Structures are given as structure tokens and as C-alpha cells.
Amino acid sequence: MFRSTLKVLQQSSLRVKFFGSIHNPLGSVVRAVLPDPSSVYMLRRWSLVRTPGLAVNMATSSSHSAVRRVAIFGGTHGNELSGVLLVKHWLKHGEEIARRSMEVRPFITNPKAVEKCVRYIDTDLNRVFDNQSLSGDQKGKVPYEIEQARKINSLFGPKGSKNGYDVILDLHNTTAHMGATLILENSRDDFTIQMCKYIQTSMAPESCAVLLIEHPGVKYATTRSIAKHPIGIEVGPQPQGVVRADILRTMKNVVNYALDFMQYFNEGTEFPPCSLEVYRVLEKIDYPRNESGDLGAIIHPSLQDQDWKPLNPGDPMFITMDGEVTCYEGENTVYPTFVNEAAYYEKNQAFAKTEKVTLMAQALRL
């Protein structure tokens, strides 16, 4: 493995200095460590590629402009009620989320779905923030959520522009046993990585996983993706159309820690380089199906409620009505999440398969 790593480093014009340092042509130091057992990222031609067992960190600081505008979205899915209740509360009691250095705007993103307490009216709002849907080129009647997406894009974007909101915190619930989860879309966004690290540290000893949904060649169409630094906040388990006090409290804490981080950053706090263990999505796994396309098996009891726990080769995944068990046949240990999520039955997803990855962020300062 070490020889192959050296070969990749040579291809990228990076010189290896032993004792764990790598020097790039610009003179800054890249620290290499060997964590166990995560996959991590290394620098190659100034882009990040996955290399098992090697973490690489540019030991320089990253300077960002102050955070001026933050939005908190609730009701992207109208039956995920923690975010709905919190945003409605903050619309009346904005002083609870006010921070003196920035505007913080709570917003109900899918009001019709919230009114009916359903996930969506015509289509999933959290999947239509792509360029085609936002462009307005479609002819004829447009689904309600696409109309709403265009409105949201005009208020908080436009997507990909310098005028977009700095940060959007998008609040979601899951029926899966995931606890508090932060959803990260960009492994190169030092600001958001540092914010996730701050939230994780502040939440301890309560766990707070980070799910990296980045995929090569994919431009995400999530509601929050119109911001410069989007982050999803997913908390569960909570049934659809129900509010649990413990889940709501956890979500409220995560939001406040995120706002505190941004306030400290705006006040000049410098955050040192950090590492962040995340779970990177590899593949979405469907349920076994019969010849009619109906469910042929369900989640095995030993996998149920085991989000973020290792799934090893040979471990049970599904069980049929007759007791026949389907086991995991992959070569490597993976970490399932969104296990048996109610909203994903329509999306033909039993769970998402992830791997552990360690991201490294530069020091962050104003």
C-alpha cells in the first residue's frame, strides 16, 4: 500500500518527506497520518481522491469572509414536524436565534405540504433545485414544489451566485434510528467541515454523525444547495406527523451550536486545523423484490435500528415471510444508514451503504 501511495504522490508532483510530512511545490506542508481503519482523502493535482488509510491535511489557514445571512428551513417535507414547529416558533420569537453579527431568517419552505401534514404535494421539494427546474423553461402546468423552488431560489439564491445566502440550515426528521446527523455535500468546504466539527464537539457525549453525500459528477438538487455553505440537520427516530420532545430538543441544540460557531467566527475566533470522521455514501440498497415488483423481504431484526453500526460480510440484511435470510456479500465492512426509512419506500431504498472517511480541514479565520 505504501508503494502505491508513493506512486500517486509522485504523479501529483508532491515530494514525500518521511516522518509524516508531504511538501507541495508551493512550499506549504501537508501532514500525512495513518488513522485506523478509515478511508481518507489525499491531494492529487489539487483535487481530493479517496485513498484507503491516508489522511492528508494542508497545514495552512483558510480565510473566509464574515457570515452575514443565514436561513433556517423547516417544512421542506411537511410531515417532518420538529423543523416545522421550531421554525414557526422562531418566526414569533426571533430573539432566540438572533446573533448580533448576522441576519438569521427562519422560513417554512413547503407551506402547502405543512398544512396537509404530508411529505410533499406533487413532487419532493428536496430533489428539484436543479438548473432545469429552476430555469423556468418548462411549458404547461408546473408542479407546486417546482414553483416553490423557484420562489425560494429567488429569495435565498440564486443558486451558484455570489448573492446567495451564506449558510442554510435545513431541518429534517427521519424514522430511522440515526440520532443527530449533519449532512455535508462538499468534502472541500473547510468552513462547513469546521462547523460540523464544532457541533460534534459541543454535542458530546451525545453522538452526532456526519453523512457525506458528495458524489463525482453530481450537482445536488437539495433545497439547501442554493447556499454557499449548505448543511442538512437530520434527527431521528421520529414517526412522520409526530413530534417527540427529545428529538425536538436535540434539533434545537444543533441549530444553536451552528449559530454559535458562526458568531464566534464573525468575532474573529480562529479555528485550528481539524479532522472530521464522516460516513460517505457508497450505494443505495433496495429491498429484495418478487416477480411483481412488490417487497420480497424486509429488514432483518439484527439490522433494524443499527444505523452507523458496522455491517460485516455475512451479516443478515433481509428476511422473507418464510424466514429466508439474505446476508451481506460485500468484501468490506460498511455502515448502513437511513435503515428502513419510511419515506424511502417509494424511492426503492431499504438503506444507504456508507464507508468511514476522514476529512481534514485547514485552520479557519476571518
Q: 77 vs 51, 91, 362, CA distance in Å?
A: 36, 18, 34
Beta pairing, strands 21-23 & 15-17: antiparallel
Say what the pLDDT of residue 216 is.
Answer: 73
Contact 203, 137 (CB under 8 A): no
Alpha helices (runs of H) in the chain, residue ranges in sequence order = 2-11, 81-92, 111-116, 131-135, 144-156, 190-203, 245-266
CATH homologous superfamily of domain 69-269?
Zn peptidases (3.40.630.10)
Say what the pLDDT of residue 345 is.
Answer: 97
Say what the pLDDT of residue 119 is.
Answer: 99
Q: How many residues does the chain have?
A: 366
This prediction has a pTM of 0.83
- Domain limits, CATH 2.20.25.160, in the chain: 285-356
* 158 upstream amide cis, omega within 30 of 0: yes
**What are the grid coordinates assigned to 338, written together?**
437511513
234 is catalytic: yes
Say what the pLDDT of residue 64 is.
Answer: 87
Question: Residue 365: how many CA atoms within 13 Å on its side-chain side?
Answer: 7
CA 214 to chain centroid: 8
Contact 15, 22 (CB under 8 A): yes
Contact 3, 16 (CB under 8 A): no
Q: Please give the CATH architecture assigned to the domain spanning 285-356.
A: Single Sheet (2.20)
Beta pairing, strands 21-23 & 29-33: antiparallel
Contacts of 258 (CB under 8 A, 6+ apart): 167, 169, 195, 199, 231, 233
Catalytic entry in 80, 145, 185, 234? 234
Q: Is the torsion defined by CA of 177, 182, 184, 190 positive or negative? A: negative
Say what the pLDDT of residue 139 is.
Answer: 67
In angstroms, how far apart are the furthest CA atoms of the chain? 64
d(CA 93, CA 86): 10
Q: How many CB atoms lie within 10 A of CB 242?
A: 14
Ordered strands of the 316-319 beta sheet: 298-299, 316-319, 325-327
d(CA 39, CA 36): 8
d(CA 55, CA 51): 8
The stretches in the chain having pLDDT less than 70 are 1-61, 138-139, 217-219
Amino acid at 201: T
d(CA 58, CA 281): 24
Say what the pLDDT of residue 215 is.
Answer: 78
Return the C-alpha torsion angle 182, 130, 175, 285, nearest 10.
-100
Strands (E), the chain: 15-17, 21-23, 29-33, 39-44, 47-52, 55-58, 61-63, 69-74, 103-108, 167-173, 179-184, 208-212, 229-236, 274-285, 298-299, 316-319, 325-327, 335-337, 351-361, 363-365
Return the C-alpha torsion angle 173, 177, 179, 185, nearest 10.
-60
